[in-house]
A and B are shown apart, each in its own frame.
Chain A
């Protein structure tokens, strides 16, 4: 697996892909994101994390999640948000994805991308934001020439989640 050097055409393509994704998600263009940027074979997971001693690692628990999505379940979430009864997001919360520290590596058709993610979220008259910080470990794959999200694993810096729901996308 070779590192994709910053400044190379592939690196630029990956950065642009991540920026466009963030733009679609911030602008509630969820269906556009799903249908244009996500592979039908996607595995999209936010694993559960616990506080454990350093010797036991980072505390992510095998096989247990906050979200464990397939394309079908993601489509279900997008459809839910489009109904007139998605109270959790209507009026919608205001979200912004800050994506930094992008590192890419190439392995055949797959591009591994690690990025740091900070989601800033407010709703109604809140002045204190809800913050979700973590690392995304993605695999992008070229399908019919288009880069698609094939794997996403969001490693949150939280054991107890402090936002009113996870109706948003990471």
Chain B
């Protein structure tokens, strides 16, 4: 009989549980191999994970190759217009059957022995079928599918866990906030081109943590963007706004002027001609009001899907800042690496000139060659180094997430917040990140089939 005691991962999760009420997080979460292995199974193996936008696969047979955790999945629109998420492994010997990052096809053929699958993943044949497999049913030998697939405002998610709740229940209060960006008009959004991909030596959680609402870092890490005029809202003013724990695990942050009459960008800096097409037919007056007053929205859908809308320019001398929307995933790539996937979104009804402006402004700021993003990777690399540190372990080193806790700083709960979730006024606050790690801890401990709560009201 094998007796297994508590592992290092268990000890770190215990330390997280004990530390969170005091705003403390063990740094080992960012560098421990056991923790990482457990994340792949318990987070990426269970949660709804963002894969693609429907506009990337508009025509029948269009597909893109994407990741859940470290594994490849084909996201394809079938002959009937449905979206299938297929594990990219031939049922015969496990060989990769999709050999392009994107494309259009009626079938996938395995290069090893020629097993061939249609756009629904059904096995349709193999060479010399009668000799080789005559009598064996094709049914049940298709490509393995993700347990559930759903999309929200064109954002396609999948989960590998059949016990997962419906996507909208999983998103909980976050759906309301996705509405007020992606649902501002009836046309919706589309992706520009294909995603950028880059790998850096950091832990994936640093990205989620940052986009959950780390606004405070702008004043130091991103100070250069003000010096070159890339972003129009001064740092101190930009700290005014709301932090929202939309639902357990899902957090976001709005930079918002105290009153509507305040000068400065409205509607994330979108052009006025576009704003004229926004209406409340699909969203509530409260949602429209939040969008109108917002200068920046930054959000993270647990575990690793982030959204950012804000006014930016790549060339302040020639172009005023304009509304940019980027969505990204922080794909785990080993405990010490993250592969960043970065998409730019535009509203479908924008003019070609508006789309071009938004794309250039986004590319020049929020991409690995952009004025904002190029500095972000710098600290994240060393967070993961500290996460692997023996000294951190021996010295009981903990990370401080106390900003905005009672008696710390100026942030205060907002009693009459019109949206779902828990809100704080002023963004000097780290409850958004504590919310991320509280749900993280719950998911990491949840037994198969069991789920933490998706609402604070339950």
Contact = CB atoms under 8 A, between A and B. Distances in A.
Interface string A52-86: 11001001011111111110110111011001011
Interface string B359-399: 01001100111010111011101000000000000000000
Contact of A88 (B192, B199, B374): B374
B275 interface: no
Contacts of B222: 85
A77 B101 contact: no
Given A80-B227, A83-B228, A87-B375, 18 more contacts: A48-B194, A50-B102, A56-B103, A61-B193, A63-B193, A64-B194, A66-B368, A67-B363, A75-B317, A76-B315, A80-B371, A88-B374, A159-B197, A161-B197, A164-B377, A165-B373, A165-B377, A167-B374
Nearest to B222: A85
B374 A166 contact: yes
A9 interface: no
Contact of B194 (A53, A61, A68): A61
Residue among A56, A62, A73 with most chain B CB within 10 A: A73
Interface residues of A, number: 39
B101 A50 contact: yes
A72 B361 CA distance: 12
Contacts of A161: 196-199, 368
Q: How large is the interface on B (under 10, 10 to 19, 20 to 34, 35 or more residues)?
A: 35 or more
Contact of B381 (A56, A162, A164): A164
B100 interface: yes
Nearest to B371: A80
Contacts of A166: 367-369, 374
Residue among B196, B220, B225 with most chain A CB within 10 A: B196
A106 B379 CA distance: 47
A67 B369 contact: yes
Interface in A20-48: 46, 48
Interface in A143-170: 159-167
A160 B339 contact: yes
Contacts of A163: 198, 368
Is the contact region of chain A dominated by helix, strand, or loop, or is it mixed? mixed
11 contacts: A50-B102, A51-B99, A52-B100, A62-B193, A66-B367, A73-B315, A76-B364, A85-B223, A88-B374, A88-B377, A161-B196
Interface in B280-326: 314-319
Residue among A51, A52, A68, A76 with most chain B CB within 10 A: A76
Contact of A165 (B194, B319, B368): B368
B221 interface: yes
B316 A76 contact: yes
Nearest to B220: A85
B39 interface: no
A73 B339 contact: no
A80 B224 CA distance: 6
B178 interface: no
The 6 closest A-B pairs by CB, nearest first: A64-B193, A166-B369, A72-B315, A165-B374, A85-B223, A50-B101
B455 to A, nearest CB: 38
Nearest to B337: A162
B27 interface: no
Given A70-B315, A77-B371, A87-B375, A162 B227 contact: no
Interface in A65-123: 65-70, 72-73, 75-77, 79-80, 83, 85-88
A78 to B, nearest CB: 10
B371 to A, nearest CB: 5
A66 B201 contact: no
A79 B134 CA distance: 69
Contact of B196 (A56, A66, A79, A164): A66
B443 interface: no
A166 B360 CA distance: 16
Contacts of B220: 85
Contacts of A46: 369
Contacts of A70: 315, 318
Interface string B38-78: 00000000000000000000000000000000000000000
Interface in B213-244: 220-225, 227-228, 230
Nearest to B105: A53
B164 interface: no
Nearest to B230: A76
A74 B375 CA distance: 17
B200 interface: yes
Contacts of B99: 51, 53
A30 to B, nearest CB: 14
B199 A73 contact: no
Contacts of B371: 76-77, 80
A72 B230 CA distance: 12
Contacts of A167: 369, 374
B37 to A, nearest CB: 23
Given A64-B194, A80-B228, A51 B369 contact: no
Contacts of B364: 69, 73, 76
Contacts of B339: 160
A48 B228 contact: no
A56 B223 CA distance: 43
A159 B101 contact: yes
Nearest to A167: B374
Nearest to A165: B374
